[in-house]
């Protein structure tokens, strides 16, 4: 089993990765960094490959200097990011997930949804959030 980190490149996601790294080091766990991309823009293979490379390069830079085993996964589907993350959590049987949260207005949540809210309410494992 491993620890999962939901990552979108934001500062709060970077904080969640830092916290997950501390936890993984203390408990001798692996980390899987997951980024969800919606396929609503009809992504082709080159777009997906570029997104995977960008994610891998960014996480390699952030994890530089740690001895924590990690891997990156890009999830691409027509589902929402929250649904993809929860589905992936079940498949991987992750022990817990770390994710960053940021304040949004009620209108913002209504228009764009809330990935963090969906994951918190539907994940079958503990969800650790940071801001």
Which residue in 97, 91, 105 sits closest to 128, CA to CA? Answer: 97
Delineate the domains of the chain, giving CATH numbers in brackets: 2-130 (3.40.50.620)
DSSP string, the chain: -EEEEE--SSHHHHHHHHHHHHHHHHHT-EEEEEEEEEGGG---HHHHHHHHHHHHHHHHHHHTT----EEEEEEEESS-HHHHHHHHHHHHT-SEEEEE-----HHHHHHH--HHHHHHHH-SS-EEEE-
Q: Give tens-digit pLDDT for 14-57.
A: 999 999 999 999 999 999 999 998 766 677 888 889 999 999 99
Check whether 111 has a pLDDT greater than 50.
no
Model pLDDT for residues 59-90, shown as the tens digit of each residue: 999 999 899 999 999 999 888 899 999 999 99
Entry pTM: 0.89
Characterize 41-58 residue by residue with b for buried, 16 or more Cβ atoms within 10 angstroms of its Cβ, and e for exposed.
eeeeeeeeeeebeebeeb
Within its chain, how far is the Cα of 123 from the centroid?
13
């Amino acid at each position: 089993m491993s620890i999962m980190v939901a990552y979108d490149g934001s500062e709060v996601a970077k904080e969640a990765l830092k916290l997950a790294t501390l936890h993984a080091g203390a408990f001798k766990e692996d980390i899987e960094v997951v980024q969800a991309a919606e396929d609503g823009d009809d992504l082709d293979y080159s777009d997906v490959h570029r997104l995977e490379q960008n994610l891998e390069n960014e996480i390699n830079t952030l994890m530089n200097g740690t001895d924590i085993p990690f891997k990156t996964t890009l999830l691409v589907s027509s589902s929402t990011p929250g649904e993809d993350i929860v589905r992936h959590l079940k498949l991987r049987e992750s022990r817990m997930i770390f994710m960053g949260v940021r304040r949004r207005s009620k209108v913002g949540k209504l228009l764009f949804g809330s990935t963090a809210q969906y994951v918190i309410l539907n994940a079958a494992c503990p969800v650790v959030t940071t801001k």
